Structure 1
Amino acid sequence: MNTLIILVHPCEDSFNHAICDKVKNHLIHKNYEVKVRDLYKLKFNPILTEDNHTSFYQTKLPKEIQLEQNEISWAENLIFIFPSWWCGMPAMMKGYFDRVFTNGFAFRFDKSEVDGLLKGKKAVIFQTTSQTEEFMKPNQLVSSMETAMDVGIFDYCGIDIITHKFFFSVPYIDKESREKMLKEAEGIVDTL
């Protein structure tokens, strides 16, 4: 199965990169076709300008956005890996959605109706955080991020969410706990 991993973290020695490597190698071992889009390594420009917005509406897309859309079109499975910064996704991740998930590609909005154009695709989200689960869940920070992303982006575009997995307290846990998380990530992608 064609699987596209979108990775967003500036540090190559981050746990996010470790998740990416573990998941990529696991899927390749299972004979999946896997591509990785490391947005920092690619120097992806996340800034949507007024000119971009007008062009997107008219479907006159810059080449770098056409390339990203071609990668998404190729994929049956999408895996997103990124940290939580200020109780949300990094600006790079948000900018990717702003620029790549355009009207006419990811969805079609016509007056009051929305048609998700990415139906049939499955997504797994791995989101890391330095915060504890005991802090995040009672304060509804997990549910608010899940709603914004799972419903506000993926469901809107017709993508089926398989799992939105949060890994908590990542900078403060020991190596054994991280290894358990990586093993869990392998198990999650087995559901694709």
Structure 2
Amino acid sequence: MATKRSALIVYAHQSPNSFNAAARDVAVDVLQGQGCQVTVSDLYAMGFKPAATAQDIIGELQNPDHFRYNEEAMVAWQEGRLSEDISAEQRKVEEANLIIFQFPMYWFSMPAILKGWVDRVLTQGFAFTLPKMYNNGAFKDKKAILSFTTGASEPMFLPDGINGDMNVTLWPIQYGVLNFCGFQVLPPQIFWAPARSPPSVREAMLEVWRTRLGALWEETPLSFIKTDLFDLSLQTGFRLRPEVKEELQADAYGITTGHHLGKPLPPNNQMRPPPPAI
């Protein structure tokens, strides 16, 4: 018997009448229709605390004179001493095969409450360790996708648009958070300026999302650089191996949005999967 799929939607919007709420509901409807178990973490409704503080640690601190959140949280996770709101979210992540982050883009990033979820839930030990990061990450068997709304139209986020290239905007979240923890990162679902769109356009956006969700599990993830191309030592600073750089010298583009090697960025590296191999 096939294992039942499980999805977690981490939802960050204050209004139940928002477009983000509608996108969340479409995802719940389609995924449940596929027989998937769906859990929603409605962060505002939960009153989720965004600030990572010493209150997240139950019991005595390892070093009360110099509090280091990452180190204290790792030990607390190992010993089962994280606060219950964090532990509850970690259990949801463990059970999920797919995580959808549904949110409005604030200041080129996530709302504070969602960033707080990342800070507090994806603790060291649970979500990553030095040996288990990037393509060797703890969540390499899980998929993740950003589904979000913008206040600006799509042309404003083009490479020559006033807001700059959306690929650059997405890099810290998709590479620095999701891929760092090992997730297979699916191309983002971006709803461009729904608040500035007529009802018919908003409905069309939701229909595109509904159709995509129907085959989401089979999608090709985005492509990220592999850790074995780096010299993984403190002495060398975890730099790209010299022979790799030499092999890539003739390439017209950099490797990824972040690993551009001083060359033009590969087009839409954070927006679409790599082309199939020939």
Question: TM-score normalized by structure 2?
Answer: 0.65
1:152 is aligned to: 176
Aligned residues: 190
Asked which structure has the greater CA Rg, the reply is 2
Name the residue aligned to 1:143.
167
Partner AA of 2:73 in structure 1: F
- 1:29, 1:117 → 2: CA distance? 29
Other-structure match for 1:127: 148
Residue type at the aligned position of 1:64? D
Q: CA deviation digits over 1:103-154, x for unaligned, max 9?
A: 00111136xx745211100012111011011112234351123201110001
SS of the aligned residue for 2:45 comes to coil
- Give the whole-Å Cα distance in 2 for the aligned partners of 1:44 and 1:94: 11
Kept after mapping to 1: 8 A contact 2:143/2:186? yes
Deviates more, 1:133-142 or 1:59-68: 133-142
- Correspondence for 1:55: 72
**Are 1:171 and 2:195 matched, yes or no?**
yes
Moved more, 44-53 or 83-92: 44-53
Distance in 1, Cα, partners of 2:111 & 2:212: 23
- SS of alignment partner, residue 163 of structure 1: coil
Contact 2:151/2:194 (<8 A) preserved: yes
Please list every run of 5 or more consecutive structure 2 residues that lacks an aligned counterpart in the other structure. 57-68, 218-278
Name the structure 1 match of 2:20.
16
SS in 2 for 1:65: helix
The 2-side partners of 1:17 and 1:163 are apart by 20
> Given that residues 74 and 126 in structure 2 are in contact (C-alpha distance below 8 angstroms), is that contact kept between their aligned partners in structure 1?
no
**How far off its partner does 1:184 sit?**
1.3
Aligned position for 2:125 = 104
Residue 49 of structure 2 corresponds to 45
Q: CA deviation at 1:55?
A: 3.1
Unaligned runs of 5+ in 1: none
Aligned to 2:92: 71
Structure 2 residue 111 is matched with structure 1 residue 87: no
TM-score normalized with structure 1 length: 0.93
Higher RCO (C-alpha 8 Å, min separation 6): 1
- CA shift at 1:50, angstroms? 4.7
Q: Which has the higher strand share?
A: 1
| Same amino acid, percent of matched pairs | 31
Moved more, 121-130 or 136-145: 136-145
Aligned match of 2:32 in 21, 25, 28? 28
Contact 1:123 1:163 in 2 (8 A): no
Q: Secondary structure at 1:40's aligned position in 2?
A: helix
For the residues of structure 1 that align with 2:191 and 2:204, how far apart are their CA atoms? 11
